[in-house]
Structure 1
């Protein structure tokens, strides 16, 4: 059964999030005479013991080298252990991922498994009725190994439709060498950050980047940093968008000021990968991102890695 095959693969990969509910598959187990309860039980036992056979399509958006290689390695390991299984992996950039899913909803060309870029996309897929519950997989892995809140975000009517595979800790990254050369301290407030970023914008170097591609989430993420630090939220109590509060308006004006005065002009169309690459290559002095920044810097400009820090 393809659902069972996909669930086993998802459990083995640990980078999966969603199990789809379309497609066909084959199994080596022969169907026994099901006219009696005894023969039905025997058939079920035979199928569970039979070698897995079938074809699985898996979509993901891990375009970075090491992460993409880890996904392929996990799939290769599963296929080696199950020679009758073929896993087709399709990789899409974050900017193209949502477009690909929306097209698939229209044409019916959807994967058996997929990652998602947050619980919001899980809800969209649930609303489109294209997901199947994976409680059996979650229970096999161990439900207590996952954050209860994260599982709750992917649960509807008592059924779980996805599993969390990592969580980001977003921090401010900065270059100690650039700060020291300019006689600057590590900023502790938004005003200090802005002043330092403006000071460090010179000679082809930029203080910070503010990226606004409509195909990505960075502008919302950056606005959320500002609003949350001011003790507010981008959501009202009824979960509708809150973009007219004083904190939200102040945040919009703040990041617009950053974009105008210390960010490359082309970042207005940058996605998250384009944005991060600026810091990887040493072109920006500050960035807000997760621990992936270290690997990006080491792979692109290892000579500056020793100067990259985040506040303790």
Structure 2
């Protein structure tokens, strides 16, 4: 197991905290249209590439992301003449599809949208191109350094991030006010509210994404952080059989009793759909989903939500992110590189915030005070970043996550004790560490 995540986590927490608390510069105007693009944004005129041809981009499927990316791709096409073909597949199949295509070495993908879960695998196999092959220092300096470090292997960065996200708690302000409840500040507050506000199949106390494949692990990791612990200690030793990990499992098991039927099949889309249909008093969700709750086109509960960090001993949040990467096998490097820089740039990130609720990864993004005021989930993110860790990106995490999520579901179903479940995860992590 790689230990580099520890130092990365610390640097990221400090840097993001500084960005949130210290950015008080001039406000930027929020874009009303899609951002413009110029191939010269990262190269001198003499180095400006002549763009042509087409590129194929691999991303996850599903709106609002897919349609918003398509809008940006269309703008890129309009400004550069490069045709962008979007190959979008469901999240749970994205890694497998990308791995198969990249292993072939045929150059079928020019740009890939990579998650930390499989980023290490792709760099170890030589599938991705270092950003220094196509970014100058001025472009690199736009980004929060700690976030770039998530995509660093052996001193080289292999992708540009265009969002950050974490899991937070949304609660119905109208229902809480009617019941005389304050915003949840502890696990006990969450459990008490879930019990008090649950009303059969008319209103579930809470909804959360309980599906295997990353969503459930994310909920667990953020909740574990809020209990003052993490997957491993500062020396890289697994800590999954600790009192804190067992308590976290038991808490989620109690909370699951107030969740809708079928929640173990919910990913983030299905999870938000329950809240949008006026069926949940609270929701554990990704910050990227918060905008869905305030979208009149999909929600019956517009304007009725506020957000806080999941909190017990401390606020906590597992930082999730993606990166746009140019593939090593691309046959159109210049065009692929310009698209990556365009998608990760501040203007594109602000556009995606308005359309998708994603959060930016550049320093300038957090100078837009008006944007922060209109997106209350950013305040909850700030609380969560007081005690955050990056999404696990070590190469053995996929197998460890499988054991974790399988065991969590078994605990929720009453088929395994929390202590036994965590002992098995601990054993798997120790086995992989050898």
Q: TM-score range by the shorter chain?
A: 0.7 to 0.9
How far residue 48 of structure 1 moved from its aligned partner, in angstroms, is 5.8
Query: Aligned partners of 1:98, 1:128: CA distance in 2, in Å?
Result: 14
Report the equivalent of 2:192. Answer: 195
Q: Which of residues 251, 255, 260 in structure 2 aligns to 1:258?
A: 255
Deviates more, 1:49-58 or 1:279-288: 49-58
Distance of aligned partners of 1:164 and 1:51 in 2 relative to their CA distance in 1, 3 Å threshold: closer
How far residue 249 of structure 1 moved from its aligned partner, in angstroms, is 0.9
Q: Does 1:92 align with 2:89?
A: yes
Q: Does 1:129 align with 2:126?
A: yes
Query: Aligned partners of 1:293, 1:163: CA distance in 2, in Å?
Result: 24
Report the equivalent of 2:113. Answer: 115
Question: For the Cα contact (< 8 Å) 1:59–1:111, is it kept in 2?
Answer: yes
Report the equivalent of 2:276. Answer: 280
Query: Aligned partners of 2:265, 2:144: CA distance in 1, in Å?
Result: 35
Report the equivalent of 2:206. Answer: 208
Query: Aligned partners of 2:174, 2:293: CA distance in 1, in Å?
Result: 18
Query: Aligned partners of 1:213, 1:239: CA distance in 2, in Å?
Result: 27
How far residue 101 of structure 1 moved from its aligned partner, in angstroms, is 2.4
Report the equivalent of 2:267. Answer: 271
Query: Aligned partners of 1:141, 1:296: CA distance in 2, in Å?
Result: 37
Higher RCO (Cα < 8 Å, 6 or more apart)? 2
Query: Aligned partners of 2:133, 2:49: CA distance in 1, in Å?
Result: 19
Q: Which of residues 173, 180, 185 in structure 2 aligns to 1:183?
A: 180
Distance of aligned partners of 1:49 and 1:104 in 2 relative to their CA distance in 1, 3 Å threshold: closer
Report the equivalent of 1:29. Answer: none
Deviates more, 1:230-239 or 1:172-181: 230-239
Query: Aligned partners of 1:125, 1:58: CA distance in 2, in Å?
Result: 16
Query: Aligned partners of 1:221, 1:48: CA distance in 2, in Å?
Result: 43
Report the equivalent of 2:222. Answer: 225
Distance of aligned partners of 1:189 and 1:133 in 2 relative to their CA distance in 1, 3 Å threshold: same
Distance of aligned partners of 1:50 and 1:251 in 2 relative to their CA distance in 1, 3 Å threshold: closer
Report the equivalent of 2:292. Answer: 295
Query: Aligned partners of 2:92, 2:293: CA distance in 1, in Å?
Result: 19
What is the TM-score normalised by the length of structure 1?
0.75
Query: Aligned partners of 2:217, 2:228: CA distance in 1, in Å?
Result: 16
Report the equivalent of 1:75. Answer: 73
How far residue 265 of structure 1 moved from its aligned partner, in angstroms, is 2.7
Distance of aligned partners of 1:141 and 1:96 in 2 relative to their CA distance in 1, 3 Å threshold: farther
Report the equivalent of 1:168. Answer: 165
How far residue 51 of structure 1 moved from its aligned partner, in angstroms, is 3.9
RMSD: 2.9
Any stretches of 5+ residues in structure 1 without a counterpart? 1-10, 14-46
Rg: which structure is higher?
A: 1
Q: Does 1:53 align with 2:52?
A: yes
Distance of aligned partners of 1:143 and 1:48 in 2 relative to their CA distance in 1, 3 Å threshold: closer
Any stretches of 5+ residues in structure 2 without a counterpart? 1-35, 39-45, 309-378, 380-434
